[in-house]
Copies of this chain bind each other. A is one copy, B any other.
């Protein structure tokens, strides 16, 4: 598989860390952008669209037949059948997007992250942490009407997810939202300056500056 100009970012976090809000804010801020577009990876599913859901935006809606053909073709990183419907993340779709120079955000858990990282080692893992156990508890009990048991179960699940933070390349602490968003933007913008990406972005410049020497260096 040839290298791709776009960066794949794998984002994981426990519930209550604010991952969805951060991704949403990042994409809204940069949706009109220009020479550095970015998008969230869109999963495939066989379930029917709900009101307001758009094909290609919320999901790629496909038939069971189509999905099973895609499984056979090996396009999925991972897929599962849940309550009679298939869900899957298409490696091919992601790679096509990356080839266009678009950064892709993959919103998954540590297990999915591990699998993606194995298949695409150039992917950058970002783990988002809440600023304290106290804040996490409050966020997991937002409606204020959950039983102690329910909250305790959610906390256990959160701790289990967080215990894998060290497998990720970057760690964001979401204490102040604006700061965490700026940190996330910096990671994304910084990764674009990696030499492996710049070689792909500026082949003409490197040839202009280095002449024949650019060929060795840029291959």
Contacts and interface: CB of A to CB of B under 8 A. Distances in A.
Interface of A: 126-127, 129-133, 136, 159, 162-163, 165-166, 168-173, 182-183, 185-195, 198-199, 202, 205-206, 208-211, 213, 217-218
Q: List the 3 shortest-distance A-B pairs measured between CB atoms, nearest first.
A: A190-B190, A186-B189, A171-B198
Nearest to A219: B166
B209 A193 contact: no
Contact of A183 (B129, B131, B193, B218): B193
A171 B195 CA distance: 5
Contact of A186 (B172, B190, B209): B190
Nearest to A218: B166
Given A205-B131, A209-B130, A209-B159, A189 B193 contact: no
A132 B189 contact: no
B195 A165 contact: yes
A160 B140 CA distance: 58
Contacts of A173: 198, 202, 205
A30 B192 CA distance: 22
Nearest to A202: B173
Contact of A165 (B129, B131, B217): B217
Contact of A199 (B163, B166, B183): B166
A218 B166 CA distance: 7
B133 A208 contact: yes
A133 to B, nearest CB: 5
B193 A186 contact: yes
Given A163-B217, A166-B218, A209-B136, A189 B198 contact: no
